[in-house]
Structure 1
Amino acid sequence: MDAGYCESCGFFEDRCGCGRGRVLIKGRDRVRISKFLSGLLRHYPDRFGIELDRRGYARLEDVLDILKERYGIGEVELRAIVELDKKRRFEISDGKIRARYGHSVDVDVGWTEDKCIPEKLYHATSPENLASIMKSGLLPMRRREVHMTATPEEAIEVGMRHSNTPVLMEIDTRRMAERGIDVRKKGRVFTADHVPPDCLRVVGWKKT
């Protein structure tokens, strides 16, 4: 959806409530920029000369310079992307910006264990990965943590990025706790260092 700003309503998606706001970024551009920002702040800051501190923050000014050159946007457009992101992937604070989770670079975002973890979480993956997962469990692979969602629908949405027929798995977080494995809540995503096979159950897959 398009992203915009209104002096009365604040940042909005698609249409402003009072009708006086203006669109800042078209939906397609918003998706492209969000994907680039995720990669920049999670995986390849060095490629663009961006330095992350230990908590994963980059200087907002440096990131804006890159976004202006590549996409022609400024701070208000970037703040619209951050504020309206439903997965709360980004955070701006004290002249700095970071990805809140999902890093493959070595940072410590400082999250603590959340005590309100659902008993069941979900993860979807390509069918060709299933045999390995049921033998070794879910591993972070190129990320630093395994990502899980609160609903099957969210997991399928993520899984569809990698396969037209993703396998949906249900994760027993109570059993993980009994095994001494922490589950952390980061925005709308839940993460863990590892999910053992005996904490997983295949519940279905998305068919074409």
Structure 2
Amino acid sequence: MNDARLNELSKILSHALRHCPEAYNVTMDKSGWVNLDELLNSIRCANKNFSDLSERDVHDALNRGKRARHEIKNKKIRAMYGHSIQIEANSKDIGVPPVFLFHGTPEKNVEKIQTEGLLSMERILVHLFESKSDAIQKAMRKSNHVACFQVDTVRAIGLGVKFYKKEAGLWVATDIDNSALHIIS
């Protein structure tokens, strides 16, 4: 499968597993897992460009990015983060983050974040990074003019925020009060 088709497949998988499983006629459990064969068949039927879709193609699509966004276990697949639908967080995923994490955002959002805190908005959880540069790079996908907030995780935990480690360098968290934030750029 060529790069363009693998990129398209990755977007389809994210849409199905993060936002709209019902559009693909798949059953998702409370932790976000769906049967891989069920999803493959649905994509094959719905999109003539993927009538020959194989499990190998899915693995190839998932292995393209720098960060793992999906996982496959026991013939089931799920998105690891980025959901706009409610997924039950696994309590074993709750972690103790570094003292500081970072969140990049377009500059136009700064005043609102300083007033209201970091809110998940259309996602279920807030995305945070262990490095300032990763946070800024993520924000640059939406704007060339970005700001970066430093999150005091000790204060945030004291305020009841839950942090979940998703992969190396990436965390997600429940909404974070503005008193645990400091703008650094």
User: What TM-score do you get using the length of structure 1 for normalisation?
Assistant: 0.78
CA distance in 1, matches of 2:56, 2:86: 29
The amino acid that maps onto 1:168 is C
- Give the count of matched residue pairs: 179
Instruction: Say whether 1:191 aligns with 2:145.
Output: no
Describe how 1:38-49 pairs up with structure 2 within 5 A.
38-49=14-25
* 1:102 match: 82
* 2:119 match: 139
Q: Secondary structure at the match of 1:148?
A: strand
Q: Secondary structure at the match of 1:139?
A: coil
Q: Secondary structure at the match of 1:98?
A: strand
Relative to its length, the structure with more helix (as a share) is: 2
* 2:154 match: 174
Considering only CA atoms, is the larger Rg found in Structure 1 or Structure 2?
1
Q: CA deviation at 1:178?
A: 2.6
* 2:183 match: 202
Q: Secondary structure at the match of 2:179?
A: helix
Q: Is residue 24–residue 39 contact of structure 2 (8 Å, CA) maintained in 1?
A: no
Describe how 1:84-163 pairs up with structure 2 within 5 A.
84-111=64-91, 112-115=93-96, 117-163=97-143
Q: CA deviation at 1:197?
A: 0.9
Please give the per-residue CA displacement for 1:145-183, whole angstroms capped at 9, x wherever unaligned: 111111122212221222121211111112212323222
Q: CA deviation at 1:80?
A: 2.0
Q: CA deviation at 1:84?
A: 4.7
Q: Is residue 82–residue 90 contact of structure 1 (8 Å, CA) maintained in 2?
A: yes
Q: Is residue 6–residue 57 contact of structure 2 (8 Å, CA) maintained in 1?
A: no
CA distance in 1, matches of 2:164, 2:107: 26
Q: Secondary structure at the match of 1:78?
A: helix
- Point out where structure 1 has 5 or more consecutive residues left out of the alignment: 1-23
The amino acid that maps onto 2:118 is L
Instruction: Say whether 1:51 aligns with 2:31.
Output: no
Q: Is residue 172–residue 199 contact of structure 1 (8 Å, CA) maintained in 2?
A: yes
Higher relative CO (Cα under 8 Å, sequence separation at least 6) belongs to 2
Q: CA deviation at 1:43?
A: 0.5
Aligned-residue Cα RMSD (Å) equals: 1.9
Q: CA deviation at 1:25?
A: 3.7
Q: Is residue 137–residue 195 contact of structure 1 (8 Å, CA) maintained in 2?
A: yes
CA distance in 2, matches of 1:125, 1:32: 26
Q: Percent identity?
A: 29
Q: Is residue 101–residue 150 contact of structure 2 (8 Å, CA) maintained in 1?
A: yes
The amino acid that maps onto 1:59 is N
CA distance in 1, matches of 2:89, 2:72: 13
User: What TM-score do you get using the length of structure 2 for normalisation?
Assistant: 0.86
CA distance in 2, matches of 1:109, 1:91: 15
